[in-house]
Copies of this chain bind each other. A is one copy, B any other.
Amino acid sequence: MISHIIRRVAIVGGTHGNELTGVYLVKKFQQFPDLLKRSTFETVALLANPKAVEMNRRYVDRDLNRCFCRADLANPDLTGYEDTRAKEICAQLSPKYHHGADFIIDLHSTTSNMGLTILPSSKHPFNLQLLAYLSDINPSVRAFFREEDGEDAPMLRSLSAFGCTIEVGPIAQGVVNAHQLQQTEMLIHGILNYVDATNRDNPLAIPSHLTVYQAICSVDYPRNSVGEIQATIHPQVQFKDYEPLHPGEPMFLNFTGESIAYQGESTVFPVFINEAAYYEKHIAMVLTKKQQLQLETV
Residues of A within 8 A of B (CB): 24, 27-28, 31-32, 56-57, 111, 170-179, 181, 228-229, 232-235, 238, 253, 255-256, 274, 276-277, 279-280
Complex contacts, A234 vs chain B, CB 8 Å: 178
Contact, CB under 8 Å: A276 / B27? no
Contact A279:B174 (CB < 8 A) given known A28-B255, A255-B28, A255-B31:
yes
Contact, CB under 8 Å: A56 / B279? yes
Stoichiometry (number of copies)? 2
Partner of A232, one of B111, B177, B228, B235: B177
Complex contacts, A279 vs chain B, CB 8 Å: 56, 174
Residue from A56, A172, A277 with most neighbouring chain B CB atoms (10 Å)? A172
Complex contacts, A178 vs chain B, CB 8 Å: 232-235, 238, 253
Nearest-CB distance from A101 to chain B (Å)? 24
Complex contacts, A57 vs chain B, CB 8 Å: 57
Partner of A238, one of B179, B253, B277: B179
* Bound-state Cα–Cα, A238 to B27, Å: 22
12 examples of A-B residue contacts, CB within 8 angstroms: A32-B256, A56-B279, A56-B280, A111-B172, A170-B172, A173-B174, A177-B274, A178-B233, A178-B234, A178-B238, A179-B238, A181-B232
